[in-house]
């Protein structure tokens, strides 16, 4: 399932204008949802967190979207990056589905959800299909 989804994202990258890639993640807008996939085994520090948010906002061009965020690739994230993503990271989001199915990604989402009380509907899901189902009602 994951592999297919990843392939699809690559497919979108070449076929759609609305896509973006940096050192940390690949993002694209697909049918009114921002797909956001962290690359494998990445470690995020403050500069990286700022780049991640800034690139996503550029892609969204000032419009809020539901976000499907696959965080399974994150290996390590330091304190400054955690703080930044917890505040600035939720800008221009209508709802977020976090895909996390490993103990590590589960722990990171727990940490985020408990510490931050996100202002928007947020759900932890096990795969992209479940995530899309949750986000469906937030698509314009």
Partner 1 sequence: MENLTYNNRLDKVFQLLIEISRGNFSYRLERTDKQDELEALSAIVNIVAEEIKDSFLHQGYVNMHDSYMHLVQMIFFLDKNFRMVYINQDVTKLLHWKKIELLDLPLVNLLEKESIKKWVNFTKALKPDQAFEKNMRLVFRTKSDLQLPAYCKIVNLPQKGYSTPSYMLISSDIVKNTELQERKLQSKILKQIRRPRPKHLIEEKSFLNVSDLETFRAIGTYLKNNLDKNAPSLKELAHEFGTNEYKLKRGFKELFGMTVFQFLKNERLRNAHIWVKGSNEPFKRIARQNGFKNATHFSREFKARYGYTPRDLRANS
Q: Is 60 helix (H, G, I), strand (E, B) or coil?
A: helix
Cα distance between residue 127 and residue 64, in whole Å: 23
Under the binding rule (CB under 8 A), the answer on residue 19 touching partner 1 is no
Binding segment (CB under 8 A) for partner 1, from list 1-9, 104-112, 121-129, 130-138: 104-112
* Min CB(33)–partner 1 separation in Å: 18
Q: Which is nearer to partner 1, 11 or 102 (CB)?
A: 102
The span from the first CA to the last CA of the chain, in angstroms, equals 26
Query: Beta strands of the chain (E only): which ranges?
Result: 19-21, 25-30, 33-38, 42-44, 65-70, 74-77, 93-99, 122-125
If we measure between CA atoms, which residue out of 108, 119, 105, 87 comes closest to residue 2? 105
The strand pairing partners of 99, in sequence order, are 70, 125
Q: Judged by CB under 8 A, does residue 10 bind partner 1?
A: no
Listed in sequence order, the residues at least 6 apart from 88 whose beta carbon sits closer than 8 Å to its beta carbon are 49, 50, 53
- Applying CB under 8 A, does 104 fall inside the site for partner 1? yes
Instruction: Between 26 and 55, name the residue whose CB sits nearer to partner 1.
Output: 55
Sole binder of partner 1 in the list 11, 16, 39, 87 (CB under 8 A): 87
Q: Which stretch binds partner 1 (CB under 8 A): 6-14, 19-27, 73-81, 126-134?
A: 73-81
Which positions touch partner 1 (CB under 8 A)?
41, 53-54, 57-58, 60-62, 75-76, 78-79, 82, 87-88, 91-92, 102-104, 106-108, 111, 117, 119
């Amino acid at each position: 399932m994951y592999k297919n989804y990843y392939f699809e994202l690559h497919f979108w990258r070449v076929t759609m204008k609305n896509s973006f890639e940096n050192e940390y993640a690949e993002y694209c807008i697909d049918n009114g949802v921002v797909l956001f996939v962290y690359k494998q085994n990445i470690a995020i520090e403050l500069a990286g967190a700022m780049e991640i948010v800034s690139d996503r906002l550029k892609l969204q061009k000032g419009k809020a979207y539901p976000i499907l965020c696959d965080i399974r690739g994150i290996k390590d994230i330091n304190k400054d990056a955690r703080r930044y993503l917890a505040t600035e990271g939720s800008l221009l989001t209508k709802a977020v589905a976090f895909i996390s199915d490993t103990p590590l990604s589960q722990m990171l989402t727990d940490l985020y959800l408990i510490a931050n009380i996100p202002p928007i509907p947020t759900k932890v899901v096990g795969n992209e299909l479940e995530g899309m189902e949750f986000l469906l009602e937030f698509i314009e």
